[in-house]
Amino acid sequence: MDESSLHSIRLSLQVALISTVLVTIIGCTTAYFLATRKFRGKTVCEILIALPLIMPPTITGYYLVMIFGKNTLLGKILYDWTGCVIMFSWFAAVIASFVVSFPLMVKVSQAAIESIDKSLIDSAYILGYSEWETAVKIVLPLAKKGILSGVILSFARAIGEFGATLMLAGNIPGKTSTMPLAIYTFAASGEWYKAHGMVAILTVLSGVFLYLALSLSEKEGKS
Amino acid sequence: MPKQSTLILIVVLLVSGILLTIPLLPKKFKTEILVSAAISLKDAITQIGNDFEKKHPEIQVYFNFASSGQLRIQIENGAPVDIFISASPMEMELLEKKGCILASSKVDLVKNRLVFIKNKNLQFKITKLEELIKFYDLKIAIGNPATVPAGRYAQQALKFYQIWEKIENRLILGENVRQVLDYVARGEVDAGFVYVTDTIKESQIEILLSIPEEAHKTIVYPMAIIKTSRFMSVAQDFVLFAADEKKFVWQQFGFQCD
């Protein structure tokens, strides 16, 4: 395997890892509030979060480019204030992975939190727990398995992310070319044989993650 | 309880903030230029980039490969690109109209030819494109003319010989020119239209005809410097290097230079 392929593997793992940490923290918090609160515009909120799950990734990428591009919205503010250009940086790949795996995390952990027996939460409040204590000591442990499979699925989705990454992070060998992008580049010039290593890694990783997610849900069924 | 919610928010922001500031890659102190190039040019332009780095060791050339349309959208939205090489003059014109490129720097880098290919194991011959109407059961692949430049040129050629209407409904549309090539090479279709440069590394296909150049618009790959480039003189050097000094590399990969 050549140097740029090795770089792609390392980059993919780093991007997926950082994206998954962010998705876990922000996704869990979001799921908690969506599961426990009723507010105006909640449905709109849920639709917006779920959109990247069903939209073609290139369209998601197009929106991201419009938001984070130097000429538009957020990207311009960031550039004017800090001189940072998000587009074509490794962090752009994190953002793209985050946006497409966030809905998975929220959906799965929201369902897990909603399925908790309400009387347990009520008892916690009656016994004098604050909301923070209830959330951390009662809700999170009870929804642990759901959240964990959300984390696994998010990581798997993040490491395979292609369309939005291509648009926002670019396909720059040695810089932002993650495994899926590198495979696409090799395929485009008829060099499939150079991609075999990465194809194998992605296939094995996906299989392992699905196995983990499946075994989690089986355990949940038995208990 | 609002107090706890704020606490959660602060923790979330803090952790995100810490993660944001971790540098993933060490900073390089070389001059870096970024060339956004149509992915069909990858092999040739990568070699030229390596040669340029050898000649100027203080400069690092990075490439960004995607379809010309995707590259155009990125540049329109302020992507930090120095040079754009498009496989479609249309995308370059769109950028020029928006004032994104340095108009004086625009050159036609290389040209390409459209060819009609068949699977190696098939036995049939044609000498003119018009003869295609005689082969009723031939499955022919072309790039989708709506999105694929190679498909657009093929459509122009078929219209030029007035056989587009007659064979239109038995065409199989590929999402890019590479897909068309793969279809023919694997024998999933019998024949197809691709660029001559695509055929060089593929042993499972045979060129039946070169489509005459007057049958379609000239297949040209324009190159230009982006207005926001921070290294204008380096970009200019690279343009000259790729367009003038390295003609033989392009020819090696099947492209034509004036």
Number of structural domains, chain A? 1
The pLDDT > 70 percentage for chain B reads: 89
What is the mean predicted confidence (pLDDT) over B66-94?
93
Query: From the candidates B8, B180, B194, which should be mutated to test the interface with A, based on the most A CB atoms within 10 A?
Result: B8
What pLDDT does B1 receive?
45
pLDDT surpassing 80 at residue B88: yes
In a domain, A118, yes or no: yes
Single-letter residue type at B167: I
Q: What is the pLDDT of residue A193?
A: 87
The predicted pLDDT at position A192 comes to 82
Does the structure show a pLDDT above 80 at B257? yes
* Tens digit of each residue's pLDDT (9 = 90 or more) over B171-191: 999 988 888 999 999 999 999
- pLDDT tens-place string over residues B225-234: 999 999 999 9
Domain extents in chain B: 31-111+220-252, 114-210
CA-angle at B18, arms to B12 and B22, nearest 5°: 145
Report chain B residues whose CB lies below 8 A from the CB of A14: 24
Evaluate if residue B12 carries a pLDDT over 80.
no
Answer whether residue A67 is part of any domain.
no
- Pick among 3.30.565.10, 3.40.190.10, 3.10.450.50, 3.40.50.1860: CATH of B114-210: 3.40.190.10
B97 and B91 Cβ atoms separated by less than 8 Å: no
Encode chain B in three state secondary structure.
Answer: CHHHHHHHHHHHHHHHHHHHHCCCCCCCCCEEEEEEEEHHHHHHHHHHHHHHHHHCCCEEEEEEEECHHHHHHHHHCCCCCCEEECCCHHHHHHHHHCCCECHHHCEEEEEECEEEEEECCCCCCCCCHHHHHHCCCCCEEEECCCCCHHHHHHHHHHHHCCCHHHHHHHEEEECCHHHHHHHHHCCCCCEEEEEHHHHCCCCCEEEEEECCHHHCCCEEEEEEEECCCCCHHHHHHHHHHHHHHCHHHHHHCCCECC
Give the distance from residue B131's alpha carbon to the nearest chain A alpha carbon, in angstroms.
30
Range of the domain at A114: 3-55+88-222
On whether residue A77 sits in a domain, the answer given is no
Task: Count Cβ–Cβ pairs < 8 Å, chain A vs chain B.
Answer: 110
The residue ranking higher by pLDDT, A74 or A50, is A50
Section A172-180 average pLDDT: 93
Residue listed under structure tokens 């890659």: B25
Mutate which of B12, B50, B65, B75 to disrupt the A interface (most A C-beta within 10 Å)? B65
Answer whether A59 touches B (CB < 8 Å): no
> Using an 8 Å Cβ cutoff, are A22 and A128 in contact?
no
d(CA A36, CA A32): 6
Edge to edge, what strands does the sheet with B205-210 contain?
B171-174, B140-143, B191-195, B114-119, B205-210
ipTM metric:
0.86
Yes or no, beta carbons of A87 and B25 under 8 Å apart: no
- Which chain B residues touch A11 with a CB distance below 8 Å? 24
pLDDT tens, residue by residue, B189-248: 999 999 999 998 888 999 999 999 999 999 999 999 999 999 999 999 999 999 999 999
Going by C-alpha positions, the residue among B169, B193, B173 that lies closest to residue B181 is: B193
Does A20 contact chain B (CB < 8 Å)?
no
A190 belongs to a structural domain: yes
Q: Which residue in A has a C-alpha nearest to residue B42's C-alpha? A: A189
The pair of three-digit structure tokens given for residue B69, joined into one six-digit string: 């349309």
Number of CB atoms found within 10 A of residue B243's CB: 18
pLDDT band at A159 (very low <50, low <70, confident <90, very high): very high
Please report the pLDDT score of residue B18 as a whole number. 55
Task: Write out chain A residues lying below 8 Å of B39, CB-based.
Answer: 171, 185, 188-189
pLDDT at A179 over 50: yes
Has residue A67 got a pLDDT over 50? yes
Token pair for A43: 């449905």
Work out the minimum CA distance from A202 to partner chain B, whole angstroms: 21
Question: Is residue A168 one of the residues assigned to a domain?
Answer: yes
A59 Cβ neighbours under 8 A, 6+ residues apart: none
Mean pLDDT of A84-99: 92
Spatial separation of the C-alpha atoms in residues A13 and A19, rounded to whole Å: 10
Rounded mean pLDDT of A179-207? 89
**Kind of pairing between the strands at B140-143 and B171-174:** parallel
Mean pLDDT for all residues in chain B: 89
Closest CB from B63, B78, B176 relative to A70: B78
Taking only Cα atoms into account, the Rg of chain A, rounded to an integer number of angstroms, comes to 20
CA distance B9 to B31: 40
Does residue A68 fall inside a structural domain? no
What is the pLDDT, as a whole number, of residue A190?
80
Work out the number of other CB atoms within 10 angstroms of the CB of residue B10. Answer: 10
Which element (helix H / strand E) includes A52?
Answer: helix A42-54
Span A112-129, average pLDDT: 92
| Average pLDDT of span A73-88 | 82
Residues 6+ apart with CB under 8 A from A44: none
- Options 3.40.190.10, 3.30.950.10, 3.30.70.270, 1.20.1250.20; CATH for B31-111+220-252 is 3.40.190.10
User: From CA A132, how far away is CA B130, in angstroms rounded?
Assistant: 77
A70 in a structural domain: no
Q: At residue B118, does pLDDT exceed 50?
A: yes
Per-residue pLDDT, averaged over A154-167, amounts to: 93
pLDDT for A223 = 47
What CATH number is attached to the domain comprising A135?
Answer: 1.10.3720.10
Q: Which residues pair with B205 in a beta bridge?
A: B119
Contacts of B116 (CB under 8 A, 6+ apart): B126, B129, B191, B192, B193, B207, B208, B209, B211
Domain-embedded: residue A81: no
Which residues from chain A sit within 8 angstroms of residue B202, using beta carbons?
190
